[in-house]
Amino acid sequence: MFRNRIQKSFPLVPTATAMQAERIDPATIQIVPFPHPALRHPAKPIRRVDGLLRDIVGRMFDLMYEHRGVGLAAPQVDLPLRLFVMNASGQRGEGVERVLINPVVSRPRGSDEAEEGCLSLPGVHGIVMRPKTVHVHAYDLSGEELDEDFTGFEARVIQHEHDHLNGLLFIDRLQESALVEIEDAVQELVDDFRGRQRQGEIPPDETLREQLLAWESMY
């Protein structure tokens, strides 16, 4: 989730087998753009936390702040894992940094409309209706349990990022009239991505899906 527009050119993580994935340098991880297959791939629960995952979380925070975001989900960095990071302030050193592992969102109450965007869909915005308050159960990197209610903007960030873990994007929640307004912008992202695939800059979707399965086998 993000506040300001950013450029739409993203280098991608090299493809990897499960053994190669273990040797990935977290510093090379980048945000993947729509329609990368990772964004539609339901994430799997995390069974263990290791040093590599901790480093990846640190990189996710770096990317989130670099792109002026308030949240970033693992599928957005090509990892099919049920994990996201957030800081509703959007500023390093301010607000509360949260790492939510295997989050479960429940007990929706009320409703609220607000504009949303996505770091994987730069330049695309729309008004989304969501519950105003939700209950969240999750774990952090230390295994500490989170079990509390969130409301307002924090609740919206959580729901937005939780959607990513289920292969959903904010554009899936827009009204038909709003979809028409963003149609050209979304198609431009698709054309750019497919064009880069044709030029060999990005592997084909089948190869990208194989990489997702490799990461799944690790965690």
Enumerate the active-site residues: 161
DSSP string, 140-176: -TT--EEEEEEEHHHHHHHHHHHHHHTT--GGGGS-H
Phi and psi for 195 in degrees, rounded to 5?
A: -65, -40
Q: Identify the three-state secondary structure at position 51.
A: helix
Query: Cβ distance 27 to 59 under 8 Å?
Result: yes
Dig out the tokens for 165 from the structure: 């873990």
Q: How far apart (Å, rounded) are the C-alpha atoms in residues 59 and 172?
A: 27
d(CA 114, CA 109): 16
* Spatial separation of the C-alpha atoms in residues 98 and 34, rounded to whole Å: 25
Closest CA to 66 of 117, 4, 156: 4
